């Protein structure tokens, strides 16, 4: 099990950038896959991006591909989501999640950080 805390959210104008961080406690983070999800008002939580424990593989939702970059620094037990060219439709609460690489379920979640993009 790992505890996750997101930070870096805020208010930004369309076209701007933000970098979200996900700080993890617990030694297991270094061997856990990590992902970012988001939930906009009135919508279901949706997948944004994921990265394997060794950073060998990344995957993105089509809606963010080419604009967002997921990364991690296991030595710092921290994951990141660099978000560029933000648009109002990116407004949501962003959550980081982690799971053992053999699991299909993300069972470790942070509390979320709000991202608001103004037009």
Q: What's the CA gap between 40 and 89, in Å, rounded?
A: 8
Nearest alpha-carbon partner for 81 in 42, 44, 110, 40: 110
Return phi, psi of residue 88, to 5°: -55, -30
| pLDDT above 80 for 77 | yes
Structure confidence at residue 27 as a pLDDT band (50, 70, 90):
confident
pLDDT at res. 28: 85
Nearest alpha-carbon partner for 111 in 90, 91, 96, 89: 96
Concatenate the DSSP letters of all residues of 93-115 into one string. Answer: EEEEEEE-TT-SS--EE---EEE
pLDDT at res. 113: 98
Residue 47 CA, distance from chain mean position: 9
| Stretch 69-82: mean pLDDT | 96
pLDDT at res. 41: 92
Q: What's the CA gap between 47 and 63, in Å, rounded?
A: 10
| Stretch 52-77: mean pLDDT | 97
| Stretch 55-72: mean pLDDT | 98
């Amino acid at each position: 099990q790992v505890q996750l805390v997101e930070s870096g959210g805020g208010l930004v104008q369309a076209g701007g950038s933000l970098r979200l961080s996900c700080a993890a406690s617990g030694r297991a983070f270094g061997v856990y896959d990590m992902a970012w999800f988001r939930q906009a008002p009135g919508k279901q939580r949706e997948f944004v991006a994921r990265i394997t424990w060794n950073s060998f593989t990344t995957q993105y939702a089509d809606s963010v591909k080419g604009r967002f970059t997921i990364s991690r620094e296991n030595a710092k037990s921290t994951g990141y989501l660099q978000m560029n060219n933000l648009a109002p439709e990116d407004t949501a609460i962003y959550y980081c999640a982690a799971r053992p690489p053999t699991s299909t379920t993300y069972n470790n979640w942070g509390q979320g950080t709000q991202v608001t993009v103004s037009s």
